[in-house]
Amino acid sequence: MNNKIAIIGGSGVHDNPGFKDLEWKVFETKYFTAVGNGVIEYQERNDGIMFIPRHGHSVKYGPSCTQYGANLIAAKILGADVVIATSAVGSLDGAIIPVKSLVVPADYIDKSRRDDNLFGKGFVVHANPIPAFSEGLRKILYHVSDGFNSNCFQGGRYKQGTYVCIPGDRFGTKAEGKIRAKYADIVGMTICPEASMAMQLGMHYAVAAFVVDVNLDANHEGGTLAIMRELSSPEKVPAYIERVIAKTKEFVQHIEPIPNLRGNIIPHATEYIQNRHLRDIAEGLIQTYCK
pLDDT in tens, 196-247: 999 999 999 999 999 999 987 777 666 788 888 888 888 899 999 999 999 9
Whether 106 contacts 163, CB under 8 Å: no
How far is it, in rounded angstroms, from Cα 291 to Cα 270? 16
Whole-number percent of the chain with pLDDT over 70: 98
| 132 CB neighbour count, 10 Å cutoff | 24
Digit-by-digit pLDDT tens for the chain (291 residues) are 678 999 999 766 777 788 888 999 999 999 999 889 999 999 999 999 999 999 999 999 999 999 999 999 999 999 999 999 999 999 999 999 999 999 999 999 999 999 999 998 889 999 999 999 999 999 999 999 987 777 789 999 999 999 999 998 998 999 999 999 999 999 999 999 999 999 999 999 999 999 999 987 777 666 788 888 888 888 899 999 999 999 999 999 999 999 999 999 998 899 999 999 999 999 999 999 997
| 128 CB neighbour count, 10 Å cutoff | 15
Give the pLDDT of residue 11: 66
Closest CA to 119 of 1, 291, 290, 271: 271
In the chain, where the domains are located: 4-282
Q: What share of the chain is helix, strand, coil (3-state, %, to 5)?
A: 30, 25, 45
pTM, rounded to two decimals: 0.95
Fold of 4-282: Rossmann fold (3.40.50)
